[in-house]
Amino acid sequence: MKSSRIPVYPRLLPRRSNAAACVLATLMILPLVSQGGEAESEWPERLYNPKPADDDIIMPLPCGGAMAFQRVYVPATQPLDDYAIQVGQDGTGWEYTEHSRPAFVAGSFAAPDSDASRYYLMAKYELTELQYAALTDDECPELSTRKRLPQTSVSWFDAMDISNTYNLWLRQEARGTLPEEDGTPGFMRLPTEVEWEYAARGGLEVDTSAYRATRYPMPDGLKDHEWYAGAQSSNGNLQLTGLLAPNPLGLHDMLGNASEMMFEPFRLNKLDRQHGQAGGLVVRGGNFLSPAGDIRTSLRREASYYADTAPHTERTTGMRLAMVAPSLTSRERVQQLEKAWQALGRDDAQPPDNQDADTTVELADLASKVDDSELEDELNDLEQKLRASNQRQEEARNQAIRSSLNLGAFLCTKMQDDGVFFDFLQENYQTNCEGDSPDASCGMRKKKLQAQRQRLNGLSNYYASSLIKSATLYGQSRIADQVDVFAEMLSHNDKLSELEPYLHTYWQHQSQYLEDQRITADAWLESCKKMADQ
């Protein structure tokens, strides 16, 4: 493995986001010296990050190179939190491989500015020929834009070797650039299928309907986002990375150009779960030879690990790296996880406003007192099944709470719009119809004003009843936990982020009701109307 001095990158430095970063960028232009004594320059940004963004994470490579990453955020507040998603797609004609099913995704690293989310890192681009050469060749490669093509014709075993080489180099030569979780540095590997598909669909940057669509939102059409077969797109040729628009997470060529290998083996689908047999390697996304109709987020296929006497490779398949952290990082983390696991699905671990019987606790206590070992096993098994059932109910309840918060925030925006419009109609009516000389349109104006008042009253009543029903059904503690999670989800979605202040207004109203049990619908309406001035 080559060893060379590298630029001094601060840990997870966003691309030139402040004055200190500009100073560092200036210093990094200075030539570097390899072990052989030859000058080694930092790569021009166009060779590793042709479409730079302010929130890019840049990791160094040997030979003065670099690789760009994006954070993929996942909502989380507790140590064992993960996020329920759907993967796959129904009606594609490939149900035994692509049928939709529930899955769960989680982040590896604590978010820098929030206690309600975690993240993992996904490479912005497919691994290029230049980056591959920097990691595998004995000599540093010649710099060329032509080498920004995705590196294809690599086997899954090559991908493992490349990941290992990169990880060891980073730990030996650039350890300070690695993100850490609980003091433990992260590491590179191929993404899992769930990590890849969650990121390919757009993660938290898209709403539920866009997430479940066949493709992520493409405002300018498929040809401006992905390379596929045909004269209007790839024309049968592999293309340079980063030429087209990215997906909502800022990731390029996720569904086209080169197909991408996954970390785990291929499994068939059995309706809501995967089949028990683990087969060859998983390949995701389309490529430059895929018809436009095959460019979809759920596309997955199996490839062999071997071709006759050699590892299997394909000229259409490359790789994209992810960066994650170990799950068990320290003795303290293990203790936190043990405590969290013991609380999963237990009635005594629920919020104080929960009135359920402590059935799981009673079962555990009963099992510890019986002398019959077979009966003890049966009671313990029953307790675990009940805990699992409680946990599923808790996860479903959390999703329902977030849905109620979404509705409450949206209704607050509607009350604002309808309330402001009512005030406008009322002011016009007073100006034109309540003086000494009312105009001829006053009858029409009065009808409009009355209709708008009726509409606003109905909306206000619906807002109040939804707020009260949710508060009564879920209680203070449960709702409070999900307010933070849902606010974090909104903050990552450009189209929905405007709802965040309305969410907090709705929660203020709900908190007031939970505290004093008073229904102040008129005050809630006025509060939502005032949001227009903020």
In a domain, 11, yes or no: no
Same domain, residue pair 310 and 452: no
Tokens 């030569």 identify what position?
173
The Cα 530–Cα 462 span in angstroms is 19
Tokens of 157: 């075993």
- Is the overall model pTM greater than 0.75, yes or no? yes
In a domain, 4, yes or no: no
> Worst-scoring range by mean pLDDT, 125-129, 174-178, 527-531?
527-531
- What does pLDDT average to over the chain? 88
Q: What pLDDT sits at residue 5?
A: 32
Any bridge partners for residue 379, and if so which? none
In a domain, 1, yes or no: no
Could you tell me where the beta strands, DSSP code E, fall in 349-487?
none
Buried b (16+ CB within 10 A) or exposed e, 367-401: beeeeeeeeeeebeeebeebbeebeeeeeeebeeb
Long-range contacts, stretch 83-88, CB < 8 angstroms, 24+ apart: 84/395, 84/399, 85/194, 85/198, 85/211, 86/211, 86/212, 87/193, 87/194, 87/197, 87/198, 87/298, 88/269, 88/298
Q: Helix (H, G, I), strand (E, B), or coil: what is residue 259? A: strand
Same domain, residue pair 355 and 442: no
> Worst-scoring range by mean pLDDT, 14-18, 176-180, 241-245, 246-250?
14-18
Q: What pLDDT sits at residue 374?
A: 81
The DSSP H or E segment spanning 364 is helix 359-369
Contacts of 357 (CB under 8 A, 6+ apart): 347
Position 39 confidence tier, pLDDT thresholds 50, 70, 90? very low
pLDDT for residue 28 is more than 80: no
Same domain, residue pair 224 and 319: yes
Q: What pLDDT sits at residue 363?
A: 67
Q: Are strands 83-87 and 180-181 parallel, antiparallel or unpaired?
A: unpaired
- Among 324, 349, 381, identify where a domain stops: 324
Any bridge partners for residue 123, and if so which? 69
Q: What pLDDT sits at residue 12?
A: 43
Same domain, residue pair 278 and 388: no
Q: What's the structural domain count of the chain? A: 3
First to last CA, the chain: 58
- Helix/strand/coil (H/E/C) assignment for every residue in 89-153: CCCCCCHHHHCCEEEEECCCEECCCCCCEEEEEEECCCCEHHHHHHHHCCCCCCCCHHHHCECCC
Same domain, residue pair 398 and 360: no
The backbone region for 122, taken as left when phi is positive above 0, alpha when psi lies in -120 to 50, beta otherwise, is beta
The DSSP H or E segment spanning 181 is strand 180-181
In a domain, 337, yes or no: yes
pLDDT for residue 370 is more than 90: no
Q: What pLDDT sits at residue 87?
A: 96
> Worst-scoring range by mean pLDDT, 34-48, 147-161, 281-295, 307-321?
34-48
> Worst-scoring range by mean pLDDT, 95-99, 234-238, 350-354, 453-457?
350-354
CATH number at residue 286: 3.90.1580.10
Same domain, residue pair 437 and 387: no
What single letter denotes the amino acid at residue 192?
A: T
Decide: 172 and 3 in contact? Cβ < 8 Å: yes
Q: What pLDDT sits at residue 40?
A: 64
The Cα 29–Cα 47 span in angstroms is 15
- Among 341, 376, 392, identify where a domain stops: 392
Same domain, residue pair 243 and 342: no
- Among 300, 324, 348, identify where a domain stops: 324
Burial of 29 (0-12, 13-18, 19+ CB in 10 A): exposed
Tokens 């699992």 identify what position?
388
Same domain, residue pair 39 and 145: yes
Tokens of 69: 């990453």
Number of Cβ atoms within 10 Å of the Cβ of 338: 11
The Cα 410–Cα 465 span in angstroms is 14
Axis crossing angle, helix 373-433 with helix 476-491, rounded to the nearest 10: 70
When pLDDT is averaged across residues 198-223 and rounded to a whole number, the result is: 95
pLDDT for residue 2 is more than 50: no
Q: What pLDDT sits at residue 6?
A: 35
Same domain, residue pair 411 and 281: no
What is the extent of the structural domain holding 284?
19-324
Apex 330 CA angle, 326 and 333, nearest 5: 90
In a domain, 3, yes or no: no
pLDDT for residue 14 is more than 50: no
Q: What pLDDT sits at residue 347?
A: 58
Same domain, residue pair 350 and 254: no
Tokens 């990691």 identify what position?
135
The Cα 322–Cα 263 span in angstroms is 10
> Worst-scoring range by mean pLDDT, 29-43, 88-102, 180-194?
29-43
When pLDDT is averaged across residues 502-525 and rounded to a whole number, the result is: 95
In a domain, 91, yes or no: yes
pLDDT digits (tens, 9 = 90+) for 127-167: 999 999 999 999 999 999 999 999 999 999 999 999 999 99
In a domain, 7, yes or no: no
Tokens 């808790």 identify what position?
394
Same domain, residue pair 308 and 381: no
The Cα 314–Cα 287 span in angstroms is 11
Same domain, residue pair 269 and 370: no
pLDDT for residue 31 is more than 50: no
- The helices-and-strands tally (H runs, E runs) of the chain is 13, 20
If one compares 517 and 437, the residue with the highest pLDDT of the two is: 517
Q: What pLDDT sits at residue 369?
A: 76
In a domain, 2, yes or no: no
Decide: 409 and 502 in contact? Cβ < 8 Å: yes
